[in-house]
């Protein structure tokens, strides 16, 4: 392979990994640390740059999309960009690893050249790991709080932020005009631990927890979370007379009641000293009451900022120093095989308990048997454990110098450790194929009740285990048939808790089709896919009817989700042929159909939630086919809009098609529409139907 080809292959591979881990993260089950994810993105960007890949051809992994349905979005007057990073993985043109100090001097050299100055006063600040927020004040009064969103548009969270009571509601002596300040909302570790102890389903980590809290529709009670803020920037101002430097701006903000980490910042004119401060801070990391994922090294003179400008990705006035995740050695006491909700058998490391990034770790996923083989992990080994991003602990590598003689390789099981059924291999994974396997039943119910799925208040993992073991619950619908008396008999329950659980079950009935689909633990159906399927099919009946047609290889059904022409996208976002086959076959299986019938019997809503659709009479119930490139809407966006208005989008033209929306280069569908006499419209006409024309 030539170098370019090899790089292109790697780029594609990276894109796939980034997509995969984004989905896992969104589903609340990240498999790699935030740090490792950033590294993937970083490597992707470097490679794409070196190959000269056009922006429109790249995946946009950053900043993460955080839009939540039901929140108003607004455009940022000044985009909320990312930061450039010093990266431990960077290599020079000869392929040699580049020390951070060299990367930083190169960065400073470029600034000196561009600004034509010798001395660059610099300020180093901690990079607190929370969620960014932008606050707009008018006449000194807080008017609006907005999340970073995709960097250009964010969600309005004014009520939530106001309720926290941690940001100033008034900004005195800040002029009569508008001013926008930026900072971070974060959850101090002690407050997070205190709050988490009151929940029966603990939050994964302070950062995700904070993000979730700020997207609570009802702000009542947010003041009790202990979430705090700190500010580091005035993004723009109307007429306040602002100080000329970053350090004085921090003081200016502090004088006006905004929380600022004045005691934690460091000013210098030496890049060596700046780097040293970062390293010293890193050493103190474990003793802080907040998570930081690095430091930010910024120029102090704000006058230079405008002269330096920015790329679409990051400004040129600063660069982040990222901390490598904390790693600790410990002993591997054993390897256990756990059975997941879809039967996947996963090796789990049983560790001599070790304190890493804030908590004691005694178990860590080893992901799969191929990975285990690759790392050559053996019982009795000394292994290095890492848990950056405070998410999932993992075994990074084995210290082979400490391996005892005679340590044996681990042999993957050929039967399920719980039910003894013969295991089957699929790609790199091994599965227990028995859907009634007790371990799978328990895991599926735990998942069904979990926050990201049906969010059944009071139904934690311990209770799920009990209702399975003692009350014979097997299927999700069984949960809704439990009565208060039998629940009250269980360990650590009693009348009151039982009533709360029952109320939780009642409330969960209205979560809607998307949550139900996510809850059923169907392979390849995570949170996003579940919502997309629900939005497209709208009811379980519609979905199941479609699955039946798909399984029977009905041409229209297959073409709708998996167009024969590989250049065309299917109607359901992200649904590729292979996963579609698996998903629709599973949905059509007697077992899954039975669960749907059971859920309908106990009055669980199996339709998309009304709040997620806004019917438009001209579009509702009509079938659209999109073809060719539309002038302003992407295929995905157009599909979304039609569905949100109650219409359907199909992949192929038939007599049942109401409209073909044709853009440039429409192709064969356009011809077929003409032949069948189907109405052909352009994008403007579609927008008019949607009630969206100017
Ligand atoms: P990243 O998303 O990793 O590219 O980093 C950019 C983000 O870092 C910003 O959106 C801020 O939310 C966050 N951040 C935390 N602390 C600081 C700081 N002291 N200065 C600038 N950005 C910060
Ligand atoms: Zn089994």
DSSP string over 294-327:
EEEEEESBTHHHHHH-B-SS-BSSEEEEEPPPPE
Ligand that comes closest to the CA of residue 186:
1
User: Which of 40-44, 101-105, 607-611 is most confident?
Assistant: 101-105
Q: Whose CA is nearest to atom 4 of ligand 1?
A: 82
Mean pLDDT score, 39-67? 67
| Of residues 66, 75, 98, 95, the one with CA closest to residue 85 | 98
User: In the structure, what pLDDT confidence band is assigned to residue 693 with cuts at 50, 70 and 90?
Assistant: very low
> Cis bond leading into 519, ω under 30°?
no
| Of residues 326, 405, 432, the one with CA closest to residue 34 | 326
How many CB atoms within 10 Å of residue 475?
16
Mean pLDDT score, 419-423? 96
Cβ(208) to ligand 1 under 6 A? no
User: In the structure, what pLDDT confidence band is assigned to residue 320 with cuts at 50, 70 and 90?
Assistant: very high
User: In the structure, what pLDDT confidence band is assigned to residue 151 with cuts at 50, 70 and 90?
Assistant: confident
Dist CA 7 CA 341 (whole Å): 37
| Of residues 610, 588, 405, 597, the one with CA closest to residue 512 | 610
Residues pairing with 330 in the sheet: 383
Q: How many residues appear in the chain?
A: 694
Q: Whose CA is nearest to atom 23 of ligand 1?
A: 127
pLDDT digits 0-9 by tens, 444-455: 999 999 887 899
Rounded mean pLDDT of the chain?
87
Q: Whose CA is nearest to atom 7 of ligand 1?
A: 82
Cβ(184) to ligand 1 under 6 A? yes
pLDDT value, residue 388: 47
Residue 511 has pLDDT above 80, yes or no: yes
Cβ(440) to ligand 1 under 6 A? no
Ligand 1 atom with the smallest distance to the CA of 125 is: 19
Residue 460 has pLDDT above 70, yes or no: yes
Higher-pLDDT residue of 384 and 655 is 384
pLDDT value, residue 573: 67
Q: Whose CA is nearest to atom 1 of ligand 1?
A: 82
Ligand that comes closest to the CA of residue 84:
1
Residue 688 has pLDDT above 90, yes or no: no
Mean pLDDT score, 517-545? 89
Mean pLDDT score, 678-688? 86
Ligand 1 atom with the smallest distance to the CA of 298 is: 20
Cβ(132) to ligand 1 under 6 A? yes
Report whether 155 contacts 216 (CB < 8 A).
no
Cβ(150) to ligand 1 under 6 A? no
Cβ(125) to ligand 1 under 6 A? yes
Q: Whose CA is nearest to atom 16 of ligand 1?
A: 127
Q: Give the H/E segment covering residue 438.
A: helix 438-449
Cβ(207) to ligand 1 under 6 A? no
pLDDT value, residue 441: 94
User: In the structure, what pLDDT confidence band is assigned to residue 613 with cuts at 50, 70 and 90?
Assistant: low
Mean pLDDT score, 519-542? 88
- Between 20-24, 232-236, 422-426, the lowest mean confidence (pLDDT) is in 20-24
pLDDT value, residue 694: 42
pTM metric for this prediction: 0.56
pLDDT value, residue 392: 66
Strands (DSSP E) found in 562-693:
623-627, 648-650, 659-662, 679-681
Cβ(292) to ligand 1 under 6 A? no
Q: How far is the CA of 184 from the centre of ligand 1 (A)?
A: 8
Kindly give the pairing relationship between strand 318-322 and strand 84-86.
Answer: parallel
Domains annotated on the chain, with CATH:
3-62 (1.10.287.610), 100-322 (3.30.470.30), 328-410 (2.40.50.140), 438-508 (1.10.150.20), 514-612 (no CATH), 623-690 (3.40.50.10190)
Ligand 1 atom with the smallest distance to the CA of 38 is: 3
pLDDT value, residue 292: 87
Mean pLDDT score, 382-396? 75
Ligand 1 atom with the smallest distance to the CA of 80 is: 10
Ligand 1 atom with the smallest distance to the CA of 148 is: 10
Dist CA 568 CA 41 (whole Å): 26
pLDDT value, residue 63: 41
Residues classed as catalytic: 127
pLDDT digits 0-9 by tens, 251-290: 999 999 999 999 999 999 999 999 999 999 998 887 889 9
Q: How far is the CA of 430 from the centre of ligand 2 (A)?
A: 11
Dist CA 519 CA 606 (whole Å): 12
Phi first, then psi: give them for residue 298, nearest 5 degrees: -125, 150
pLDDT value, residue 204: 67
Cβ(185) to ligand 1 under 6 A? no
Instruction: Return the percentage of the chain with pLDDT > 90, whole number.
Output: 49
pLDDT value, residue 634: 76
Cβ(76) to ligand 1 under 6 A? no
Report whether 661 contacts 683 (CB < 8 A).
yes
Cβ(232) to ligand 1 under 6 A? yes
Q: How far is the CA of 81 from the centre of ligand 1 (A)?
A: 9
- Between 2-6, 117-121, 362-366, 393-397, the lowest mean confidence (pLDDT) is in 2-6
- Between 346-350, 472-476, 615-619, the lowest mean confidence (pLDDT) is in 615-619
pLDDT digits 0-9 by tens, 157-183: 999 999 999 999 999 988 888 999 999
**Which two tokens mark 6?**
């090899």
Q: How far is the CA of 175 from the centre of ligand 1 (A)?
A: 26
Residue of 125, 133, 184 with the most ligand 1 atoms within 8 Å of its CB, for mutation = 184
Residue 65 has pLDDT above 90, yes or no: no
Q: Which residues surround ligand 2, an ion (CB under 5 A)?
A: 416, 418-419, 432, 434, 437
User: In the structure, what pLDDT confidence band is assigned to residue 567 with cuts at 50, 70 and 90?
Assistant: low
User: In the structure, what pLDDT confidence band is assigned to residue 514 with cuts at 50, 70 and 90?
Assistant: very high
> With the C-alpha atoms ordered 201, 206, 211, 213, is the resulting torsion angle positive or negative?
positive
Q: Whose CA is nearest to atom 15 of ligand 1?
A: 127
Q: Whose CA is nearest to atom 17 of ligand 1?
A: 127
Residues pairing with 660 in the sheet: 625, 680
Residue of 34, 81, 87, 127 with the most ligand 1 atoms within 8 Å of its CB, for mutation = 127
pLDDT value, residue 86: 87
Mean pLDDT score, 81-100? 80
The residues, ordered by sequence, that sit 6+ positions from 668 with a Cβ below 8 Å of its Cβ are none
Cβ(82) to ligand 1 under 6 A? yes
Cβ(443) to ligand 1 under 6 A? no
Question: What secondary structure does DSSP assign to 650-686, as a single string?
Answer: ESS--TT--EEEE-BS-THHHHHHHHHT-EEE-HHHH
Residue of 296, 302, 316 with the most ligand 1 atoms within 8 Å of its CB, for mutation = 296
> With the C-alpha atoms ordered 564, 568, 573, 575, is the resulting torsion angle positive or negative?
positive
Residue with tokens 């103190």: 284
Cβ(231) to ligand 1 under 6 A? no
Mean pLDDT score, 187-215? 85
Mean pLDDT score, 72-83? 90
Report whether 611 contacts 70 (CB < 8 A).
yes
pLDDT value, residue 263: 92
Residue 26 has pLDDT above 90, yes or no: no
Residue of 41, 45, 132 with the most ligand 1 atoms within 8 Å of its CB, for mutation = 132
């Amino acid at each position: 392979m030539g170098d370019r080809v090899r790089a292109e292959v790697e780029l594609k591979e990276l894109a796939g990994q980034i997509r995969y881990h984004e989905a896992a993260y969104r589903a609340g089950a990240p498999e790699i640390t935030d740090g490792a994810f950033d590294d993937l993105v970083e490597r992707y960007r470097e490679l794409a740059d070196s190959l000269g890949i056009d922006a429109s051809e790249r995946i946009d992994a950053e900043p993460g999309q955080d839009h939540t349905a039901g929140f108003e979005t607004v455009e940022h007057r000044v985009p909320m960009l990312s930061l450039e990073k010093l990266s431990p993985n960077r290599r020079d043109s000869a392929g040699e690893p580049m020390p951070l100090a060299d990367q930083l001097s190169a960065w400073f050299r470029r600034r000196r050249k561009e600004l034509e100055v010798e001395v660059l006063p610099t300020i180093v600040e901690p990079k607190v790991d929370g969620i960014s927020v932008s606050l707009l004040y008018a006449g000194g009064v807080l008017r609006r709080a907005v999340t970073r969103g995709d960097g250009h548009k964010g969600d309005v969270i004014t009520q939530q932020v106001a309720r926290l009571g941690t940001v100033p509601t008034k900004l005195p002596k800040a002029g009569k005009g508008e001013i926008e300040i930026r900072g971070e909302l974060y959850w101090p570790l002690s407050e997070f631990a205190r709050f988490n102890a009151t929940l029966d389903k603990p939050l994964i980590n302070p950062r995700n927890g904070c993000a979730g809290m700020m997207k609570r529709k009802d702000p009542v009670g947010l003041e009790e979370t202990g979430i705090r803020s700190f500010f580091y920037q005035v993004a723009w101002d109307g007429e306040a007379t602002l100080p000329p430097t970053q350090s004085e701006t921090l003081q200016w903000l502090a004088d006006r009641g905004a929380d600022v980490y004045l005691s934690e910042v460091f000013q210098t004119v030496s890049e060596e000293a700046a780097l040293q401060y970062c390293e010293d801070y890193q050493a103190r990391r474990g003793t802080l009451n907040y998570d930081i994922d690095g430091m930010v090294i910024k120029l102090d003179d704000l006058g230079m900022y405008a002269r330096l400008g920015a790329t679409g990705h990051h400004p040129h006035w600063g660069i982040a120093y990222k901390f490598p995740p904390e790693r600790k050695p410990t002993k591997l006491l054993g390897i256990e095989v756990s059975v997941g909700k879809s039967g996947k058998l996963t090796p789990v490391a049983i560790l001599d308990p070790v304190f890493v990034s804030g908590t004691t770790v005694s178990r860590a996923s080893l992901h799969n048997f191929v990975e285990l083989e690759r790392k050559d992990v053996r019982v009795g080994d000394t292994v290095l454990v890492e848990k950056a991003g405070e998410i999932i602990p993992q075994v990074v590598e084995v210290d082979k110098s400490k391996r005892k003689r005679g340590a044996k390789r681990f042999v993957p099981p050929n039967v399920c450790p719980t039910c003894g059924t013969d295991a089957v291999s699929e790609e790199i994974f091994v599965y227990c194929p028995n859907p009634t396997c007790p371990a799978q039943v328990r895991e599926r119910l735990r998942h069904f009740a979990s926050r990201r799925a049906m969010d059944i208040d009071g139904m934690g993992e311990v209770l799920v285990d009990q209702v399975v073991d003692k009350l014979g619950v097997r299927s999700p619908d069984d949960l809704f048939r439990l009565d208060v008396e039998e629940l009250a008999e269980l360990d650590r329950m009693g009348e009151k808790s039982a009533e709360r659980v029952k109320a939780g079950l009642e409330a969960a009935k209205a979560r809607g089709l998307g949550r139900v689909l996510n809850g059923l633990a169907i392979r390849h159906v995570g949170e996003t896919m579940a919502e997309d399927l629900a939005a497209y099919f709208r009811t379980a009946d519609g979905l199941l009817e479609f699955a039946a047609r798909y399984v029977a290889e009905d041409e229209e059904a297959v073409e709708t989700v998996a167009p024969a022409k590989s250049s065309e996208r299917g109607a359901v976002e992200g649904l590729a042929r292979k996963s579609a086959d698996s998903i629709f076959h599973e949905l059509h299986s007697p077992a899954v159909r039975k669960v749907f019938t059971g859920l309908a019997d106990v009055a669980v809503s199996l339709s998309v939630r009304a709040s997620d659709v806004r019917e438009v009479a001209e579009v509702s119930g009509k079938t659209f086919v999109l073809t060719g490139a539309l002038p302003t809407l992407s295929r995905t966006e157009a599909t979304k809009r039609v569905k949100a208005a109650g219409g359907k989008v199909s992949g192929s033209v038939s007599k049942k098609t109401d409209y073909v929306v044709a853009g440039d280069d429409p192709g064969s569908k356009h011809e077929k529409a003409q032949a069948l006499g189907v109405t052909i419209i352009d994008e403007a006409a579609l927008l008019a139907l949607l009630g969206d024309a100017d």
